[in-house]
């Protein structure tokens, strides 16, 4: 099977973590490059010759697309609009992608579609004109497909064509992942599910894991770890109620109280034996210094030697400073990530012997 070009759209900063996931889950994939939609998304492009359904198993991406066309350098002048229309109308890559999408979706009739434009940077034309240039090309190339409007609020179209004009680069893609429900809001103090999946991925999941989230909130990292593969036990808790986490994470049948335990507790006084935990992933949503120090002190106590701890926080300078107080907790590396509209830092920490 010939390779197909895809791109995964992530939260800003997560694109490098997503490439780690691609290498793990799609070992035959080939890296193409990164792009960035400033303060909105990271993008990783890659080629893969396996089933499309394999691509849709990536959990650290916000959205997944089949690349329809890419222009590395546009002039930013109005002549871009003609080039974009011709690329959609006559481009070989666009035609191959459209056929691949039709084979995968198995539509019995020509589908409806919408164009979702995004323009970042200064250009001599408007975002609406970018969308119209794509629509003109579609009307000439695929006249039996039916346009049903433009914009991300349109949920009736069978196909979404995303037109990303990122400075001097144009990236067109057919969306493969399901649209997110309109107006979906993050829970207070919560993070994106894809960010939670990224934290779990960085723990390097293993079937022998005794996994802990000491400040689990609504249970996003616990759910991500449960979905990522076998484990020995999941432990989680919070001091603000855990009913939402229990509903989201606990299996409906079996396993309660054995492989998964979620309870209300004080994160600075964990009811866990010394050096029992092997992996930790958590989001610290506060800069309350006594609270953070209490959590770090307990992690130093309950995590076994060579255990792996992943912490995401928006108070990243403070956390880095406080970690110096705990000689057995060593920062290996980190990633700058935007979530909940603000930049934070994901620290990968090793618990030394």
323/245 same-domain check: yes
Looking at residue 134, its pLDDT comes to: 98
Looking at residue 247, its pLDDT comes to: 92
In a domain, 183, yes or no: no
Looking at residue 188, its pLDDT comes to: 59
- Mean pLDDT calculated for residue range 255-273: 86
144/197 same-domain check: no
Looking at residue 255, its pLDDT comes to: 45
CATH number, residue 80 = 3.30.2130.30
Percent of the chain with pLDDT over 70: 93
For residue 256, name the pLDDT band (cuts at 50, 70, 90).
Answer: very low
Number of domains comprising the chain: 2
Residue 78 confidence (pLDDT) above 90: yes
Residue whose token pair is 């589908």: 111
238/277 same-domain check: yes
Please give the Cα distance from 307 to 342 (Å, whole number).
29
Mean pLDDT lowest among 28-32, 184-188, 246-250, 266-270: 184-188
Percent of the chain with pLDDT over 90: 88
103/28 same-domain check: yes
Choose the final residue of a domain: 127, 143, 175. 175
Contact indicator for 209, 203 with CB cutoff of 8 Å: yes
312-339: pLDDT as tens digits? 999 999 999 999 999 999 999 999 999 9
229/151 same-domain check: no
Tokens (6 digits) for 291: 């609270």
- Mean pLDDT calculated for residue range 66-79: 96
Looking at residue 38, its pLDDT comes to: 87
197-219: pLDDT as tens digits? 999 999 999 999 999 999 999 99
Residue 183 confidence (pLDDT) above 50: no
167/302 same-domain check: no
252: left (phi over 0), alpha (psi -120 to 50) or beta: alpha
Position with higher pLDDT, 150 vs 27 = 27
63/139 same-domain check: yes
Task: Name the β-bridge partners of 173.
Answer: 67, 162
Looking at residue 236, its pLDDT comes to: 97
Residue 273 confidence (pLDDT) above 50: yes
Output the furthest CA–CA distance in the chain (Å, rounded).
Answer: 68
78/149 same-domain check: yes
91-142: pLDDT as tens digits? 999 999 999 999 999 999 999 999 999 999 999 999 999 999 999 999 999 9
Q: Which domain holds residue 303?
A: 193-351
Looking at residue 48, its pLDDT comes to: 98
What single DSSP character describes residue 77? S
The 8 Å CB, 24+ separation contacts for 268-275 are: 268/294, 268/295, 268/297, 268/298, 269/294, 269/298, 270/214, 270/237, 270/298, 270/301, 270/302, 272/212, 272/235, 272/298, 272/302, 273/302, 274/301, 274/302, 275/301, 275/302, 275/303, 275/304, 275/305
Q: Nearest CA to 44 among 25, 63, 57, 69? A: 63
Residue 187 confidence (pLDDT) above 70: no
Q: Nearest CA to 303 among 323, 324, 329? A: 329
């Amino acid at each position: 099977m010939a390779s197909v070009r895809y791109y995964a759209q992530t939260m800003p900063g997560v694109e490098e973590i997503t490439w780690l996931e691609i290498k793990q889950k799609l070992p035959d994939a080939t890296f193409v490059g990164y792009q960035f939609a400033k303060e909105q998304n990271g993008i990783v492009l890659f080629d893969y010759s396996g089933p499309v359904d394999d691509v849709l198993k990536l959990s650290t991406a916000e959205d997944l697309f089949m690349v329809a066309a890419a222009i590395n350098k546009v002039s930013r002048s109005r002549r871009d609009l003609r080039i974009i229309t011709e690329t959609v109308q006559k481009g070989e890559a666009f035609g191959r992608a459209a056929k691949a999408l039709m084979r995968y979706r198995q539509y019995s009739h020509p589908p409806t579609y919408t164009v979702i434009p995004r323009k970042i940077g200064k250009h001599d034309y408007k975002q609406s004109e970018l969308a119209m240039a794509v629509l003109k090309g579609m009307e000439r190339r695929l006249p039996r497909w039916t346009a049903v409007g433009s914009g991300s609020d349109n949920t009736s179209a069978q196909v979404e064509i995303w037109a990303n004009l990122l400075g001097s680069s144009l990236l067109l893609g057919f969306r493969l992942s399901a649209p997110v429900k309109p107006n979906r809001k993050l829970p207070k103090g919560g993070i994106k599910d894809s960010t939670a999946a990224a934290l779990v991925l960085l723990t390097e999941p293993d079937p022998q894991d005794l996994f802990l989230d000491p400040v689990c909130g609504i249970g996003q990292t616990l759910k991500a770890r449960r979905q990522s593969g076998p484990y020995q036990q999941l432990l989680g808790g919070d001091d603000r109620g855990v009913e939402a986490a229990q509903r989201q994470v606990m299996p409906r049948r079996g396993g309660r109280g054995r492989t998964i335990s979620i309870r209300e507790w004080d994160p600075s006084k964990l009811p866990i034996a010394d050096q029992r935990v092997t992996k930790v992933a958590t989001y610290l949503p506060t800069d309350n210094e006594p609270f953070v120090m209490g959590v770090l002190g307990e992690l130093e106590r309950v995590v076994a030697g060579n255990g792996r701890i992943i912490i995401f926080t928006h108070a990243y300078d403070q956390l880095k400073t406080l970690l110096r107080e705990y000689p057995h907790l060593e920062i290996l590396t980190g990633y700058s990530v935007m979530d909940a509209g603000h930049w934070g830092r994901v620290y990968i920490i090793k618990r030394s012997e």
